[in-house]
Amino acid sequence: MRGFGVFEKGKVGWMEKPDPVCGPDEVICRPIALAPCSSDVHSAYEMEGEYLKNRILGHESVGEIIEVGSEIKDFKVGDKVVIPCTTPTWKHPDIQDSNHQDAGGLFTAINFSSYEDGTFADKIKVRSADMNLAHLPEGVSLEAACMVTDMMTTGFY
């Protein structure tokens, strides 16, 4: 897949990466609306770490599902969905300890662009899809839906 990301601190551009593999509780989406965030700029030019090398940026997006995992019950191929900027691993044992944003490690709910490739790509893998995605409501513009992905979920972080 092709995506826009950070090669190393201060060096950004288009990159080619392998297509994401869809796990049982995941979906793969094609982006239909994206928005940059100041966090993307911060990640590209201020932060350092191995996890930020050759990493696709982006975490505010709306997509159309192109593949669903075997355990997905609430979504199907062709659905238009709102993809939140934070996607906790809801089945992780730490969730039971009310630690949803850091289940499995520090800031793991903010996995796009940090632990996994972000949304500025041809394909977006969303984990725990039944618990993280929302159907795009009829009558809601792509622009409004894209802004909600960051504004609403950040309020719960």
Q: How far apart are CA 110 and CA 100, in angstroms?
A: 11
Q: Are 75 and 66 in contact (CB under 8 A)?
A: no
Q: 0.85 cut: is pTM over it?
A: yes
Q: What share of the chain is helix, strand, coil (3-state, %, to 5)?
A: 25, 30, 50
Domain ranges of the chain: 15-35+59-155
pLDDT for the residue numbered 50: 72
- Dig out the tokens for 126 from the structure: 């969303």
pLDDT for the residue numbered 62: 97
pLDDT for the residue numbered 99: 62
The CATH code that applies to domain 15-35+59-155 is: 3.90.180.10
Q: How many CB atoms lie within 10 A of CB 95?
A: 17
- Dig out the tokens for 25 from the structure: 């509780």
> Which phi and psi angles does 56 have, rounded to 5°?
-70, 135
pLDDT for the residue numbered 85: 76
pLDDT for the residue numbered 39: 79
Stretches where the chain sits below pLDDT 50 are none
> Which phi and psi angles does 146 have, rounded to 5°?
-65, -40
pLDDT for the residue numbered 135: 98
Q: How many CB atoms lie within 10 A of CB 90?
A: 15
Q: How far apart are CA 133 and CA 73, in angstroms?
A: 12
